[in-house]
Amino acid sequence: MNRAKTLFTVFSSLYTACMKILLRCVLSLAFIVWIGAEIFFPFVAATVFRTLSPDTHTAGSIVGSLLRTLHWMGLICGILALASLTFAPALGMTRPKLAVAAACLVVLMMAATAYSQFVITPSMERDRVAAGGAINKVAETHPARAHFNRLHKQSERMEQCVLFLGLAAIVVLACAETR
């Protein structure tokens, strides 16, 4: 009986250790992918616009497509991070209150990403269509272009917000870890 009890304890400890490793990997990868993409997206966008400078419509279409991909990556990474943060305190990986704080930051990141994806981006597309398909072909004073430019600034602020919330979540997680 003692031997079975010892064997169970060993397997239980091994299972818990493997789950901790798995959760840490998933959580780390979620933040690496999401924050890394947020950091490098402006560089990619700038390169696209510099390369295609005469054809800003095509450049904008490419960057818009990349932005939609970035948003979906962020939402998926957010779900993975939230799932990991849900189980981390139960496994003794993080202090519960700080895990909740980090989860709240992730929810705010997801909200900003969703707002950009499902509100700002479709509205910018409607403005582009209202301007005849190429926003840069109409005057700066055209209502569709003026609205598009306001939304573009708002989109940039949303992406900055996601980046800074993500960095804050990483700091909170660093403080939340237990030994």
Confidence at residue 179, expressed as pLDDT on a 0 to 100 scale: 62
Cα(108)–Cα(102) distance, rounded to whole angstroms?
10
Query: What Cα–Cα distance (Å) separates residue 79 from each residue in 19, 75, 113?
Result: 18, 6, 12
Using DSSP, state whether 94 is helix, strand or coil.
strand
pLDDT for residue 110: 98
- Supply the pLDDT for residue 1: 64
In order along the chain (179 residues), what is the average pLDDT of each group of 10 residues?
78 88 94 95 86 79 90 98 94 91 98 97 92 84 92 95 97 85
How many whole angstroms separate alpha carbon 23 and alpha carbon 30?
10
Q: Residues of 156-176 as b/e, b for ≥16 C-beta within 10 angstroms?
A: eebbebbbebbeebeebbeeb
Spatial CA neighbour of 125 closest among 171, 29, 60, 70: 60
Return the pLDDT at 88.
92
Residue 22 carries which side chain, given as an amino acid letter? Answer: L
Token look-up 């939340």 returns 176
